[in-house]
Chains A and B, each alone.
Chain A
Amino acid sequence: MFLALVSGNPWLESLARLAIIAVLVPVTVIILTWVERKVIGRLQMRLGPMRVGPYGTLQGVADTIKLLTKEDVRPQTADRWVFELAPFVIVVPVFMAVVAIPFTADLFIQNLTLGVFYFVAVSGLSIVGFVMAGWGSDNKYALLGGVRAAAQLISYEIPLVMAIVAVAMLSQSLNLAVIVGAQEDTPNIAFQSLAFLIFAIAGLAELYRQPFDIPVAESEVVGGPFVEYSGIRWSMFQLGEFVNLVLISILGSLIFLGGWQWPWSVFDESVPVVAQIAMMAVKTAAFILFFMWMRASLPRLRIDQMMSFCWQLLLPFALLQIIINGLVLVYDWPNEILIPLSGAGAAGAVYLTYRAARATGVRYQPGYQTVGSVL
């Protein structure tokens, strides 16, 4: 009865789909906070949370209750409206981006023709929230963190978008469902290994997690834009961060790992929905674990290293990938030629990064000189 009523009306149907997402997403985030503490604990040879519930499974619930009941403090000199609206400006675009994400071939809120493009545009909006939080708090550390966040997120958005463009070129579409459909035989990671590498690094930077946690670095800017926030407003920032983690992981598994498609055509005809969801979950989890693993194993970059890494390494290599794709498309070369070309590009990028990481420091010369090259 209810289902019949809902499925007839497009407005009610969209509303019902949105409601499901609005409930499921925070639950996922509560689980993920526990998973992250456990994973990082194991990587550092600790147990992680163990006290609340068996193996600490209820830790996330306990944390949520604590955060929701905490006092909401606002500094006296803070700019009231800017300070109080900033968490919403961060969280709302993140939830808006969920709209364009297909979870299986038929399970989505809205199948947009310009899906990837919409995703990129909307998630770029949350940068405004960081700037608002940093400026509105009337705190020097918060302001510094806000400026750092704006600089980092805007810079790394460019290689991220370029990597997505490379994939869109190959699939001849910006529709996420079509991009996944085009990967029936081979996932894009084989043809676009360079774009995948750039996407993974730029995605890590967009999530401002270690080694790219420069905007929120505890030992440099004491939490950055969030320093003055507490209780429910602080937890909204946390919510935004974790939803973004899930979104970037889902996007990565959709456009590079083949989404809900099973490898080696395990299912002869159509893949059942349960299997599709399971495949998506496995691929997304792989991405999330990769991001957590990076967080536990790499030290934080210096701010000039972060900037020059983006502009001097990721961006030129992203352009290289686009040029390679353009040549292959224009001259109708077989797609297989992309495997060695893109692979060579990826190897080159890895080698330059490795060389920069191993290079010994150059003594600082006062005066006029080129600034901050990592290469």
Chain B
Amino acid sequence: MTYEEVIFYVVAVPTVVGAIGVVTARNVVHSALFLILSLLSVAGIFILLSAEFLAIVQVLIYGGAVTILVLFAMMLTRVRDMPAALDGPQRPFAALAAGAFMVVSIFSMVSTEWPGDTNKINVISIQQIGNDLFTTWAVPFEVASLVLMVALLGAIVLARGEEGE
């Protein structure tokens, strides 16, 4: 086993363990903490693929911001007192949807033609990422920021409406 493989398993095991923890933990806050573990380990896999920029963005956005907001929302609601609310009569539907999604993912993974063994990984510099993002991919980039903007405004409108009542 080369040392790349060792490192791969060192980061892959927490990813899977975290992902399983998210769905099996009885406590929602524990689920969110497992989610952080899983997402941070994915950053490790990105580093292994020489995608340092992506890895740092993963840590910054998912590790430092998104999951904190999830935790924040859960701490303001009293999740601890009602652990049973996690489960319900919709369980078979959820299982069906999850199973179908798994089948589709496995099918697309098997049917895709992967480029095969790569001996050399092209390291893409941050300058190149910046250039592509603001020239070739400028429109999708702007659309994404527009979607975020709408979500933000929607949240403000909802919060304001409650306050006025």
Contact = CB atoms under 8 A, between A and B. Distances in A.
A interface SS class = helix
A127 B33 CA distance: 12
A122 B33 contact: no
A289 interface: no
Nearest to B76: A147
B64 A127 contact: yes
B52 A82 contact: no
B163 A131 contact: no
Contacts of A127: 64, 68
Contacts of A82: 29-30, 33
Interface in A92-120: 112-114, 117-118, 120
B67 A174 contact: no
A30 interface: no
A119 to B, nearest CB: 10
Contacts of A132: 33
Interface in B120-144: 125-126
A125 B33 CA distance: 12
B22 interface: no
Contacts of B29: 79, 82, 135
Contacts of A122: 59
A73 interface: no
A151 interface: yes
Nearest to B29: A135
Given A82-B30, A127-B68, A154-B65, A135 B75 contact: yes
Interface string A125-143: 1011001101100000001
A114 B52 contact: yes
Given A127-B64, A135-B29, A146 B75 contact: yes
Given A125-B59, A125-B63, A128-B63, A134 B75 contact: yes
A130 B40 CA distance: 18
Contact of B68 (A121, A143, A150, A368): A150
A342 B21 CA distance: 50
A121 B64 contact: yes
Contacts of B52: 112-114
A124 interface: yes
B153 interface: no
The 4 closest A-B pairs by CB, nearest first: A124-B64, A121-B60, A121-B59, A121-B56
Interface of A: 79, 82, 112-114, 117-118, 120-122, 124-125, 127-128, 131-132, 134-135, 143, 146-147, 150-151, 154, 157, 174, 368
13 contacts: A79-B27, A82-B29, A121-B57, A124-B64, A125-B59, A125-B63, A125-B64, A127-B64, A128-B63, A128-B71, A131-B75, A154-B64, A154-B65
